Amino acid sequence: MKYCGRDFSDTEIEGIRRISEQEPSLTRLAISRLVCETLSWRKPDGALKEMSCRVALLRMHRDGHIRLPPPRHPGHSGKLRRHRTAQAEPEPAFVLPASELLDLRIDPVTTRRESALWNEYVDRYHYLGYQPLPGAQIRYFARAEGRTLALFGFGAAAWKTAPRDRFIGWTDHQRAARLHLVVNNARFLILPWITSRHLASRLLGLVARQLPDQWLHRYGYRPVLLETFVEKPRFAGTCYRAANWLYLGDTKGRGKLDATHACALPIKSVWVLPLTPHFRKSLSA
Q: Are 30 and 24 in contact (CB under 8 A)?
A: no
**Which residues, including other chains, have CB under 8 Å from residue 176's CB and lie 6 or more apart?**
5, 6
pLDDT at residue 264 greater than cutoff 80: no
Residue at 72: amino acid letter: R
The answer on pLDDT for 104 being more than 80 is: yes
- List every span in the chain annotated with CATH 3.40.630.30: 86-284
Asked whether residue 254 carries a pLDDT value surpassing 50, the answer given is yes
Mean pLDDT, to the nearest integer, of 221-241? Answer: 95
Query: 243 or 55, which is more confident?
Result: 243
What contacts 24+ positions apart, CB below 8 Å, involve 277-280?
278/224, 279/168, 279/224, 279/225, 280/168, 280/169
Convert the pLDDT of each residue in 56-99 to its tens digit: 999 999 888 999 988 876 654 445 556 789 999 999 999 999 99
For strand 147-156 and strand 2-3, is the pairing parallel, antiparallel, or unpaired? unpaired
Residue 258, pLDDT > 50, answer: no
Q: What is the pTM of this model?
A: 0.78
pLDDT at 255: 55
Q: Is the dihedral of CA 228, 256, 37, 30 positive or negative?
A: positive
Q: Which residues contact 256 (CB under 8 A, 6 or more apart)?
A: 158, 159, 160
Q: Which superfamily does CATH assign the domain made up of 86-284 to? A: Gcn5-related N-acetyltransferase (GNAT) (3.40.630.30)
Predicted confidence (pLDDT) at residue 138 exceeds the cutoff of 50: yes
